[in-house]
Amino acid sequence: MKRSDLTGVGLFVLAAAAILLLPRFVSDFRAQQFAYVGIYFIALLGLNVLTGYTGLISLGHGAFMAIGGYTTAILVSDQGLTLGSHTFSADVKDVWTIPLAGLVAGLIGFAFGFPALRLTGLYLALATFAIAVAMPGLIKYDRFEQFTGGGGGINLFESAARTRPVETTDPITFETISEPIKFLGFEIASFNEWLYYLSWGVALLMFGIAWLLLRGRTGRSFRAIRDSELAAASSGVNLATYKTLAFGISAFYAGVAGSLLAIATTFVNPDTYPITLSIFLLVGVVVGGLGSLWPLVFGAIFIQFLPLWAQEVSKAQGAPAVVYGVILILLMILLPGGAAGLIRRLQALSRGYHRSR
């Protein structure tokens, strides 16, 4: 192991500790917002494999998230599907559907990689945009409605069984069951915290995988394709293999994030994964830094919190959007390399400082 790797592992452990302790210092509601940050982080990691490392722009990652989210929702709603000895929806929300959601999305992404081989640049970006645009219509399509719940969506809560009032002699009395609502052994009171640890646990795992994957041969091939397809091909990189692989991996990450988002909102409908989600994921990647990994956290924080901050600045109709837009543009002008670019610059500065001493 190189020395820089060791520092990396050390920092990783520190970051993990910080993530572990954060909920102790913030309110339950904030913990939920930070859980969303973890979910976006996963999606951004995946999108960056495709866009930052391989140079293929996707404007359709919200659609892959939708595929993941609906996979989870459909499996855990009330289909009672079994895999081996495990029955899905045995518990209300089933974390075992998360990898499955990733796989389904990944396979579809992999398949989409083949037609994408023929398209370049802008045409590819708009082709991926088309998937995001088409997705709500597909979900609502009559014949899929029995699976997807149509426009009404799917609830992951079985609130019916859990909040029905106990029938007493007085039908007006509103007695409710006293048994706490359990969620994989956790009580609902700590749902937000549970969600936080779940999403960040998965996020750290996915981060580790991405790090290992991208520092090796695969990562080198991706970067070679990004820098020049012709040069990569002439130095023996199989374009078809690696481009489709990048699509597959990227969609796998999006699927996992979409699945977590479904669990977080406990409800999916076509509007859970709107076209704007795909666009803001791209914003998050660029704000975090193309071709970076951990600085993407800043991208995730940006897309989760900036809209809320913008609303704090002014609640006048339309004003939050203006604030958001202005900050985004200023950021692009001042930090064209995103958070990662800033960090590199700071590192260079400190190195220069040490040398001059």
Binders in 184-243 for other proteins, by CB under 8 A = 188, 192, 228-231, 234
Q: How far is CA 189 from CA 185, 230, 295, in A?
A: 12, 56, 32
116 close to 124: Cβ distance less than 8 angstroms: yes
Residue 170 CA to residue 137 CA, distance in Å, equals: 46
Contact window for other proteins (CB under 8 A) among 103-111, 205-213, 216-224, 264-272: 264-272
Torsion of CA 221, 226, 230, 235, to 10 degrees: -20
144 close to 152: Cβ distance less than 8 angstroms: no
Toward other proteins, which CB reaches closer, 133 or 213? 133
Determine whether 167 is exposed, middle or buried from the number of CB atoms within 10 Å of its CB (0-12, 13-18, 19+).
exposed
Residues 6+ apart with CB under 8 A from 191: 183
The number of residues that bind other proteins (CB under 8 A) is 83
Contact window for other proteins (CB under 8 A) among 149-157, 196-204, 205-213, 236-244: 149-157
Q: Does 324 bind other proteins (CB under 8 A)?
A: yes
Near other proteins by CB under 8 A: residue from 107, 190, 274, 342 = 274
Give me the residues paired with residue 86 across strands: 83
Q: Which residues, numbered 35-54, are part of the site for other proteins (CB under 8 A)?
A: 51
Near other proteins by CB under 8 A: residue from 84, 171, 185, 236 = 171
Residues 6+ apart with CB under 8 A from 138: 144
Give me the residues paired with residue 155 across strands: 267
338 close to 293: Cβ distance less than 8 angstroms: no
Toward other proteins, which CB reaches closer, 209 or 343? 343
Toward other proteins, which CB reaches closer, 125 or 202? 125
Near other proteins by CB under 8 A: residue from 16, 99, 103, 162 = 162
Question: In the complex, what is the shortest distance from the CB of residue 142 to other proteins, in angstroms, rounded to a whole number?
Answer: 6
Is residue 2 classed as helix, strand or coil in its secondary structure? Answer: coil
Q: Which residues, numbered 78-137, are part of the site for other proteins (CB under 8 A)?
A: 115, 118-120, 122-123, 125-127, 129-130, 133-134, 136-137
Q: Does 10 bind other proteins (CB under 8 A)?
A: no
Compute how many other C-beta atoms are within 10 angstroms of the C-beta atom of residue 309. Answer: 13
Near other proteins by CB under 8 A: residue from 272, 289, 293, 300 = 272
Question: In the complex, what is the shortest distance from the CB of residue 206 to other proteins, in angstroms, rounded to a whole number?
Answer: 23
Near other proteins by CB under 8 A: residue from 1, 18, 21, 172 = 172
Question: In the complex, what is the shortest distance from the CB of residue 184 to other proteins, in angstroms, rounded to a whole number?
Answer: 15
**H or E element: which one contains 243?**
helix 239-265
Residues 6+ apart with CB under 8 A from 244: 110, 113, 114, 116, 117
Q: Which two three-digit tokens encode residue 269?
A: 């409908």
Toward other proteins, which CB reaches closer, 82 or 173? 173
Question: In the complex, what is the shortest distance from the CB of residue 138 to other proteins, in angstroms, rounded to a whole number?
Answer: 6
Toward other proteins, which CB reaches closer, 15 or 328? 328
